[in-house]
Amino acid sequence: MRVLVLGARGMLGTDLIEEWKKTAPADELISAGSAEADIRDESQVDGLVRRTKPDWAVVCAAYTDVDGCEKNRELAFQVNSSGVEYVARSAEKIGARVFLVSTDYVFDGKGTRPYETGDPVAPINAYGASKAAGEEALRRTSSAWCIGRTSWLFGVHGPSFPKKILEAAATRPELSVVNDQVGSPTYTRDLARTIARLAGRNARGIVHISNAGVCSWFDFARETLRQSGHAAVPVHPISTDQSARPARRPNYSVLSPSSLHAYGIRLRPWQQALAAFLEEPSAPA
């Protein structure tokens, strides 16, 4: 199987290439970043897809800075919506399947139970809206697609919450972290392996992919400090309003694992995934 990975040099894309080779060593992987094709340019995307002729095109490329998207809404939609449509359109011409990595932020966070794949989307920020538009563009354009929604990604190949917490702990006497947003942290290596497995099983439709368990950002911060040997650093819970971020965040964005379990796949608890992250050679101390 030939697999084209767009966004292959990002935090998830880097792990996806590495983990896919371990999960399905017989597959041929084609790494593509902005140097190979600017996802905002339809002609570049079409040329890349026609040259590589993949069986699967996996779209990891995205503008994921939530606050940045709020300030640069047009750019967010160019990358997260139009870019996805260009990939889908080109893939459809050659009969390739498309896997889109999406987000829990397509939901408004007003729920009180884990979100199922069929629940209506209602994004409350530009990032979520652009990703929801990308999902719709894929469904509209492609006849063979899979959308993997995930949440609270962390990994060693890019900026992530545990890294920021450990960097802050090294320079500040105490920390303040939001305690009224709840979700499921997801390790990029676990997500990467899952995407490879789903593609190998010719998955269709929407699948929710996150590590098991639920926590707040405050809980996530405390566990990061505990596991890294910095439990003595004081952490104070604050509200979302006190954090004063440009973009609104959903207060509850837990994804139900039932769609993933239907494929016989279960991910380990986020605490175990965090331990694996901290053990990586390039992880922060």
Q: Which residues are catalytic?
A: 127
| Residues 131/78, Cβ–Cβ less than 8 Å | no
Rounded to whole angstroms, the Cα distance separating 127 from 70 reads: 7
Look at residue 263 and give its three-state secondary structure.
Answer: coil
Token pair in block for residue 188 = 């990029």
If one counts every other C-beta atom within 10 angstroms of the C-beta of residue 17, the result is 19
Rounded to whole angstroms, the Cα distance separating 193 from 272 reads: 16
Do strands 28-32 and 235-238 pair parallel, antiparallel, or not at all (unpaired)? unpaired
Residue 142 has, within 13 A of its CA and on its CB side, a CA count of 28
If one counts every other C-beta atom within 10 angstroms of the C-beta of residue 124, the result is 18
Q: Residue 237 burial by CB count (10 A; 0-12/13-18/19+): exposed, middle or buried?
A: middle
| Residues 29/196, Cβ–Cβ less than 8 Å | no
